[in-house]
Amino acid sequence: MYQKNGEKYFIVDGHVHYWNGGPDNQKNRYGKGFTECFYDYHKNLSPAEYLWTLKKFGNYSEQDMMHDLFEIGYVDKAIFQPTYLTDFYVDGFNTTEQDGAIAERNPGKFIVNGAFDPRDGEAGLESLEALASRWKLQGVKLYTAEWKGASRGWKLSDPWSFRYLEKCQELGIRNIHVHKGPTIYPLNMDAFDVTDVDEAASAFPGLRFIVEHVGLPRLEAFCWIATQEPNVYGGLAVAMPFIHTRPRYFAQIIGELLYWLDEDRILFASDYAIWQPKWLVEKFVDFQIPEDMQSEYGVLTPDIKRKILGLNAAKLYGLDVPQELGGTKTPVAHGATGSAYRVSA
């Protein structure tokens, strides 16, 4: 937990990965290009003291991850978001199974999310059910621009997508994380268009659609969707590092989100290992919307920052949080002892 100026912040990093994007796992030039494009985001938006070499970035260690997140990064809980990309990488870029192995070796640190691809048809529905049983899934991460053979992407509004969302409801998987943000080589930018979230969110009000990267560069379209769909949330991965390179642009992003959504539907994320949570948390706690923008966007109070940095995600995933940060006493699980405090969902 992070503390600054007498304030405490429970940190949930809502978007982390354990990937292998190195040369040994690259299937073709597209895998090489994808890793290098990710690295360009890391290189161009990180403070100099947090820059890695391309070699380390492509294949960092479990020890690196545990150190960066939990030893120095203030993270109390991290949520794994898989990205398979099996057309580009021999063993996949970042799979549920790879993430789950890390979680099992480090109990209490991670939430493991799964994934689905509606182009897998009936067989994919069975695989999703198996993943849900194996990892007790509360969420999935969807990558609508992922390539599969000749297909260059899919939409949440596709009929088969609805079949999978129905399966998620059936399995109790309520948190649907969708990459709707900047493109990554060689994926097609249009396949990340945010507008298909609108139809899916209307059709499935019992699911929560966390739009990762808040639709950038389509922030305005995302905000118009989120203001009418109360089950649409914004994940700040990719938006966060602009706090360092373009603080006024970040102020505009966070100001628009607070105006259109509200402070209860915005979630912190580092997108590790593109960026590290340590400097993002520190800079966000210190950050304030510039005075000349406050008449339109207001100010960021410690209570708003607490919600964004962890309490909002804690609600979505039923996480225990310290009582002084808003947790309410709840019955403990069968066979457990003591008391648990949770933020009410």
Instruction: List pLDDT tens digits, range 219-231.
Output: 999 999 999 999 9
Which pTM value belongs to this model? 0.93
Quote the number of domains for the chain: 1
pLDDT of residue 97: 95
* Residue 345 domain flag: no
For residues 181 and 215, give the distance between their C-alpha atoms in angstroms, rounded to a whole number: 5
- pLDDT one-digit tens code per residue, 46-88: 999 999 999 999 999 999 999 999 999 999 999 999 999 999 9
Q: What is the reported pLDDT for 326?
A: 64
Confidence of residue 292 (pLDDT cuts 50, 70, 90): very high
pLDDT, position 327: 53
DSSP assignment of 106-134 equals: STTSEEE-B---GGGHHHHHHHHHHHHHH
- Residue of higher predicted confidence among 330 and 106: 106
Lowest mean pLDDT among 302-311, 314-323, 332-341: 332-341
- pLDDT per residue as tens digits for the range 113-166: 999 999 999 999 999 999 999 999 999 999 999 999 999 999 999 999 999 999
**Which of the four pLDDT bands, split at 50, 70 and 90, describes residue 198?**
very high
Round to whole Å and give the CA distance between 29 and 230.
41
- Domain containing 206: what range? 2-320
Q: Quote the pLDDT of residue 334.
A: 31
> What is the token pair recorded at 320?
């225990």
Q: pLDDT tens, 83-102?
A: 999 999 999 999 999 999 99
pLDDT of the residue at 169 = 97
Percent of the chain with pLDDT over 90: 90
Cα 97-83-218 angle, rounded to 5 deg: 155
- Domain annotation covers residue 120: yes
Mean pLDDT of 232-261: 97
Tell me if 43 is assigned to some domain: yes
| Residue 270, domain member (yes or no) | yes
Strand 2-4 with 110-112, pairing? unpaired
Phi, psi of 153 (to 5 degrees): 145, 175
The pLDDT value recorded for residue 337 is 32
> What is the mean pLDDT of the segment spanning 194-216?
97
Given this model, what pLDDT does residue 344 score? 56
90: helix, coil or strand? coil
Collapsing DSSP to helix, strand or coil, 333 comes out as coil
Q: Which two tokens stand for residue 284?
A: 């966000």
The mean pLDDT of 1-18, rounded to a whole number, is: 96
Q: Is residue 337 part of a domain?
A: no
Higher pLDDT, 344 or 297: 297
Taking every pair of Cα atoms in the chain, the longest distance, rounded to a whole number of angstroms, is 55
Which structure tokens are listed for 193? 């268009």
Query: What pLDDT is recorded for position 332?
Result: 34
SS3 for 196?
A: helix
206 falls within a domain = yes
Confidence of residue 324 (pLDDT cuts 50, 70, 90): confident
- 332 within some domain: no
The encoded tokens of residue 282 equal 């520190």
Query: Please, which pLDDT band fits residue 340 given cuts at 50, 70 and 90?
Result: very low
State residue 342's pLDDT score: 59
Confidence of residue 322 (pLDDT cuts 50, 70, 90): confident
Residue 63: give its domain's CATH number: 3.20.20.140
Residue 336 in this model has a pLDDT that exceeds 90: no
> Is 37 among the domain residues?
yes
- Which parts of 204-327 fold into alpha helices (H)? 219-228, 242-245, 247-260, 277-286, 291-297, 302-306, 312-317
